[in-house]
Amino acid sequence: MGSTNTTPTVSSNKWSKPGDIVIDSIDLISCAGFSVDIKLQMAAIVIYEDIFANALSGYINLIDTLNLSKHLPIIGNETIKIIFTTPGLDNQARKKISLSFKIFKVSSRQKIGGSQNQTFISLEFVSEEFFFNTGTKISKAYTGLSYSEMVSNIFSDYMLSNNEIDAESTTENGSEKLLTFDTYGIKNFIIPNWSPLYAINHLANLSSYMANTQMCDYVFYQNLEGIYYFVPISFMKSLAPVASFKHIPADHSTGKLMQNNARRISIVNFGDKMRDLSTGTFGSTLLTFDSTYKKIEYDIFSYNNRFSDQIHVSEFPILPRQNETMSEKIMAHRKFLPKHSYKYDGNPDNEGYLDFSLNRHSLMNQIGALGLEVDAPGDSRRRAGDIVEIEIVSQEDTSKKSEWRDTYMSGKYLITRIAHHIGNNDYNMIMSLTKDSYDEPVPDKKDAKISIA
């Protein structure tokens, strides 16, 4: 039994066209320990990377000519190891990817046409830590620790220690598996029979960054290198751009321009003010009731009053500074949170909802204010959480103007999600980009009129 590989060979250190990829190996390992390289049977791989998802996931499509379904066998409980790289790029440090996943589902298996010896198989996979998280529960009290320290303990004690996976503290690519950003304050917390990831997500909702408590938009996710991050989104927004993308005809004499020339840029969200108003993006009120002292306290949030204290992708708010009323609608969204002073001995207000709750609520809603979808040639150096520059051509005639870009939609964006689409010799990525601010201010008043010929 065998198969002939007719796919053109791509050098691992020579770039010839956008979307080049070198797949070193794709090993499928049965639950009995039998391993086979299925690179020649692979039709497509898609890997999803998302800052709002706890782990990498995806699927692989196979053209099975070796009857692997029987001989391996494939039952939906295998391990798959993938090693690939983007050839010929300048920054070598991030481009080689080595990942291990747990297959959890055979989502399709069917004969191809009238063939008796070719079967199409689609296998869904997810990171091993995420898979085994489902069968683990925690009932434990943590005292005298920061939330980031609790996350580190949960990760090492309950996610890495699972005897069904490799308990190494480093990824396949040699980096530490968990990177946490220190949270503010010493806290106490009781986990009541929750899964590790549910507990970590709950702690993210309560966390503020030690260096700047306004940065209270923590998320927990895994990037393409296999590293788990416990980090505020505001920190990502403060980073410098690592790449730029345009949608212009390819310049065949400039490889870099071709690599960064997006095949498609679509505007998927340009503001939904009804949603923003009703969800408390611009104004909200929080009431807390202390059952110990029978005391009600409140906090209010106003977008324009808080904007300069927060970290944003760009400099200017998505509302005008003066001529707007949405920031005054503090009753548009109301939250009620009960609390219990001295629930933990010696700590009068362990959660501190009044310090962060409305701020986090607005920040998490702001991040979806402006959204693009960009289809670009694959680049294994890009990560969810990166900042990139996007240049979008203005719809008007700019031939006599120095500024040819759409100044509101162009600029810096945060990558929130990447779908890495990998074929035998083709690699593209569909990126979800978002920004919560503009590079140019929204005018408070504008007297000029537009003449339509």
CATH number for 380: 2.40.30.150
Q: What is the mean pLDDT of the chain?
A: 86
**424, β-bridge pairs:** none
Answer yes or no: do 80 and 148 share one domain. no
Residue 282's Cβ-side half-sphere holds a number of Cα atoms within 13 Å equal to 21
Give the number of other CB atoms < 10 A from CB of residue 8.
8
Residue 5 has pLDDT above 80, yes or no: no
Domain that holds residue 317: 273-361
pLDDT of residue 86: 84
Answer yes or no: do 408 and 418 share one domain. yes
Q: Does residue 248 fall inside a structural domain?
A: yes
pLDDT of residue 237: 95
Answer yes or no: do 110 and 215 share one domain. no
Contact predicate 122/63, CB 8 Å: no
- The tens digit of pLDDT for each residue in 190-248 reads 999 999 999 999 999 999 999 999 999 999 999 999 999 999 999 999 999 999 998 76
pLDDT of residue 222: 97
Q: Does residue 440 fall inside a structural domain?
A: no
How far is Cα 260 from Cα 246, in angstroms, rounded to an integer?
A: 7
- The tens digit of pLDDT for each residue in 326-349 reads 999 999 999 998 888 877 777 777
pLDDT of residue 93: 57
Average pLDDT over every residue of 308-333: 91
Least confident of 22-36, 169-183, 249-263: 249-263
- The tens digit of pLDDT for each residue in 399-451 reads 656 667 788 888 999 999 999 999 988 899 999 999 999 988 988 877 666 55
CATH number at residue 37: 2.40.10.10
Answer yes or no: do 196 and 184 share one domain. yes
3-state SS class at 178: strand
| 85 pLDDT tier (thresholds 50, 70, 90) | confident
Contact predicate 218/235, CB 8 Å: no
pLDDT of residue 14: 60
Last residue of a domain, one of 107, 131, 155: 131
Answer yes or no: do 123 and 250 share one domain. no
Answer yes or no: do 160 and 296 share one domain. no
Give the list of residues 6+ apart from residue 157 with CB closer than 8 angstroms, or none.
none
Q: Does residue 340 fall inside a structural domain?
A: yes
Average pLDDT over every residue of 54-66: 93
Q: Does residue 451 fall inside a structural domain?
A: no
Query: 200 φ, ψ to 5°?
Result: -65, -40
Looking at the chain, the whole-number percentage of residues with pLDDT higher than 90 is 57
| 452 pLDDT tier (thresholds 50, 70, 90) | low
Q: Does residue 125 fall inside a structural domain?
A: yes
How far is Cα 86 from Cα 23, in angstroms, rounded to an integer?
A: 9
Answer yes or no: do 228 and 332 share one domain. no
Answer yes or no: do 183 and 88 share one domain. no
Q: Does residue 15 fall inside a structural domain?
A: no
Residue 97 has pLDDT above 80, yes or no: yes
